[in-house]
Structure 1
Amino acid sequence: MEANSLIQKPIKKQKLNVEQDIDGNSNCLGNLPEEILLHILSFLRTEDAVRTSVLCKRWEYLWASIPNLDFNLLHASHAKRKLRRPLFMKFVDKVFCLRDSSVIERFSLCCDVLSDASRVNTWISAAVRHNVQELFITLENIKREFSLPYCLFTSKTLTSLDLYMSCIFKLPSTICFSNLKVLNIGKVTFSDEYLTQQFFSGLPVLEELELNRCSWVDLKVVRISAPKLHSMSIFEFECYGDGCQFMIFGVGLKNFNYCGCLLNEYCLYESFSLEKASIHLGTNDTSEQIAHRVHKLLTGLSNVQFLRLSSKVVKVLRYAAELLPHMPMFNNLVSLMFNVTEMSIDLSSEALLKILQRSPCLENLKFWTGGLTSNCEEEDDRILDPVPSCFLSHLKRIKVDRYDGDENRLSAIKILLKKAVVLEKIVIFFSVFLSLENRVKFCKQLIELPRGSHNCKIVVKWYDCSPDRSTKCKIVLS
């Protein structure tokens, strides 16, 4: 259907009268207040909301006041995008041309820019003039230099901004998002250190920040200081790292998540309120420099209560052995999870031992989505020695995933059971590939293991063989 037919009054078509039902009686839908009808229309795609103009006289221009506008050309294949582009551009133009003065609560725009940069900016400016509150922009195929409209950076009504575009992020000299609480930025390149600093200083009420695959060209230092920031996530990979130093001041920061190759350096300061944090290291680089960056990031997370680490964090730290005696104290840490999708974690690792020794109040220890092992060449008494204090006073629950009965994995569980003297429960998830016969065999092995805690229960779990693996089976061995 062409854009014009979505906007203009249809000719030679019988209208459906939504104000009457099939018996000719008054229909409650037609009698609803306008604000409720607009609320209903806000759940439709913009194209579908416009099509409701054919229903009756009252609905003819009702769509011109809908609070949410959603224009997405990127969901189609490249060939279809090229074919639909002229109609798409005309349609967006007409929607803004015929719109009334009502507030736009949410504006989403996903399209190729190509040679229409000024046209795209006109739409964004129009949304800002309508006091837009939530703005979602994804722009691709930016052929020339591109700058977002100046009015965007001084919006007083914007509360949420999602911005994804593969180009240099050109920033104005004056930036103040006085009401912006959520900011997600992806794929953009920051190239001016002074203006970048101005940008991250103009966020007085920011609560959530995500930096996704951004690039920091020729920037040496980036300072992020948002007094109300409570959640921050960083995703970066090898091609986006430039060795920049990030100074993050998080007085109110509660959640921190990092996933990437640590080709930039991250330092957290004043993170006294930190509750949850995760570090997923996605690099095979075992250089001393990466080890130092891991150590520095862990130091900034020392106040955390719940910490999740990938197994590569443990692996990398051993390449800077001189740092291990200076591992930070995690005095507030009560739950520690190792996400070991890449490789098994060896209990004989000195880096693992240091982390555990520096977590005196640890109550929950999980080795999730991967293997836990122990070097059989080492004597049991030499592993986890000296025994971390949490094993003697606080550690109550341990979980181990994907247990397959391997000798090294059995040895690791044996050590944990022996040295955790106040342990109340250890939960072991069997590998989905284990046969029933092997499950019975391994249950017998597990129940015979000596325990340092007389109150400890061994619980084994597994998923059934149904296609969706939705049923979880459980046995308490003791």
Structure 2
Amino acid sequence: MDRIPELPEDILHRILYFLFQEDVVRTSALSKSWRYIWRTRPNLDFSDNTKYYKGVVNNTLQGYCDLRLCLDEFRLRISSGDYSDSELVSLLDKWIPLLTTSTMGVKEFQLSILSKNSVRGIVHLPVVLKAEPLKLLWLYDCSLGQNIPENIPFVRLQVLRLQSVSIEQEIFDKIISSYPLLTDVWLQKCEGLKTVILKKKLHRYLKH
């Protein structure tokens, strides 16, 4: 006899926690008790595939807002090669405020922006930096432009990964100096950097 459907909802959520979003949706076919449980799990993971249709992310986030559900973790990997610069800005400008509402209150936000084109996509930092809960930021093969954000409103960032990224020295210095919790910095083939200066109190924690 299958005892899994009799488990408490928080245990079922814990099981779903370790699955990618696509696999989580498939569990709805297991039984009646599993049909809607995937819609209420406290974490969303869109990091296994860079080609999620924007409608899937839109509808999922809107569903959580409509049901006033809390979200502990949100992971998103998006390819700038699938969208124009303006469309990418528009998508992030729509999704990030939803994540930071008092209702949803996401505690951990992991964002990976990749580019597969020969021309690097431009990531607009002011849009990304609206994500106060952001703990991990991974940017790959893109440009951060030349505009230095006037202020950086969130201070929870712990992991910064920049790979094949074009970034102005002044922008990098401001980012590094704005995060008291930053413990992991990963840089590879970054253009525009001449020196990397880190606070002494962070040296024993940092990986490079």
TM band (smaller chain) = 0.7 to 0.9
Shift of 1:158: 2.9
- Between the aligned partners of 1:132 and 1:212, the Cα distance in structure 2 is 28
CA gap 1:71/1:251 in 2 versus in 1, 3 angstroms: closer
CA gap 1:96/1:134 in 2 versus in 1, 3 angstroms: closer
Residue matched to 2:136: 160
Q: How big is each residue's C-alpha offset from its partner over 1:183-240, in whole Å with a ceiling of 9 and x where there is no partner?
A: 22222222262x4332222101212211222221xxxxxxxxxxxxxxxxxxxxxxxx
Q: Structure 1, unaligned stretches of length 5 or more?
A: 1-20, 22-26, 75-84, 217-241, 259-478
Residue matched to 1:97: 62
Residue matched to 1:377: none
Shift of 1:251: 3.1
CA gap 1:61/1:207 in 2 versus in 1, 3 angstroms: same
CA gap 1:63/1:184 in 2 versus in 1, 3 angstroms: same
- Between the aligned partners of 1:145 and 1:254, the Cα distance in structure 2 is 33
Q: Is the 8 A contact 1:139 1:165 kept in 2?
A: yes
Residue matched to 2:83: 114
Residue matched to 1:178: 155
- Between the aligned partners of 1:205 and 1:211, the Cα distance in structure 2 is 18
Residue matched to 1:30: 5
Residue matched to 1:388: none
The letter of the residue matching 2:98 is A
Say which of 231, 238, 253 aligns to 2:203.
253
The letter of the residue matching 2:76 is S
- Between the aligned partners of 1:155 and 1:89, the Cα distance in structure 2 is 19
Residue 45 of structure 2 aligns to a residue in which SS? strand
Shift of 1:145: 4.6
TM-score by length of 1: 0.36
Shift of 1:125: 4.2
Residue 110 of structure 2 aligns to a residue in which SS? strand
- Between the aligned partners of 1:252 and 1:71, the Cα distance in structure 2 is 29
The letter of the residue matching 1:153 is L
The letter of the residue matching 1:105 is E
CA gap 1:39/1:89 in 2 versus in 1, 3 angstroms: same
Shift of 1:58: 3.3
CA gap 1:52/1:149 in 2 versus in 1, 3 angstroms: farther
Say which of 14, 32, 37 aligns to 1:39.
14
Q: Structure 2, unaligned stretches of length 5 or more?
A: none
- Between the aligned partners of 1:256 and 1:89, the Cα distance in structure 2 is 35
Shift of 1:37: 0.6
- Between the aligned partners of 1:106 and 1:149, the Cα distance in structure 2 is 19
| Structure of greater Rg | 1
CA gap 1:246/1:158 in 2 versus in 1, 3 angstroms: closer
TM-score by length of 2: 0.74
Residue matched to 1:190: 167
Residue 50 of structure 1 aligns to a residue in which SS? helix
CA gap 1:147/1:252 in 2 versus in 1, 3 angstroms: closer
Residue matched to 2:186: 210
The letter of the residue matching 1:126 is L
- Between the aligned partners of 1:148 and 1:37, the Cα distance in structure 2 is 37
Residue 173 of structure 1 aligns to a residue in which SS? coil
Q: How big is each residue's C-alpha offset from its partner over 1:375-398, in whole Å with a ceiling of 9 and x where there is no partner?
A: xxxxxxxxxxxxxxxxxxxxxxxx
Shift of 1:39: 1.2
The letter of the residue matching 1:184 is R
Using CA pairs under 8 Å that are at least 6 residues apart, name the structure with larger relative contact order, 1 or 2: 2
- Between the aligned partners of 2:24 and 2:131, the Cα distance in structure 1 is 27
Residue 35 of structure 1 aligns to a residue in which SS? helix
Q: How big is each residue's C-alpha offset from its partner over 1:345-404, in whole Å with a ceiling of 9 and x where there is no partner?
A: xxxxxxxxxxxxxxxxxxxxxxxxxxxxxxxxxxxxxxxxxxxxxxxxxxxxxxxxxxxx
- Between the aligned partners of 1:109 and 1:156, the Cα distance in structure 2 is 18
- Between the aligned partners of 1:120 and 1:149, the Cα distance in structure 2 is 10
CA gap 1:144/1:190 in 2 versus in 1, 3 angstroms: closer
CA gap 1:157/1:186 in 2 versus in 1, 3 angstroms: same
CA gap 1:165/1:92 in 2 versus in 1, 3 angstroms: farther
CA gap 1:246/1:45 in 2 versus in 1, 3 angstroms: closer
Q: How big is each residue's C-alpha offset from its partner over 1:51-84, in whole Å with a ceiling of 9 and x where there is no partner?
A: 222334433332122213124444xxxxxxxxxx
Q: As a proportion of its length, which structure holds more strand?
A: 1
CA gap 1:149/1:46 in 2 versus in 1, 3 angstroms: farther
CA gap 1:53/1:135 in 2 versus in 1, 3 angstroms: same
Residue 138 of structure 2 aligns to a residue in which SS? strand
- Between the aligned partners of 1:177 and 1:211, the Cα distance in structure 2 is 21
Residue 95 of structure 1 aligns to a residue in which SS? helix
Shift of 1:138: 2.7
Alignment length, in residue pairs?
A: 194
Q: How does 1:336-351 map to 2 (within 5 A)?
A: none
The letter of the residue matching 2:83 is L
CA gap 1:247/1:114 in 2 versus in 1, 3 angstroms: same
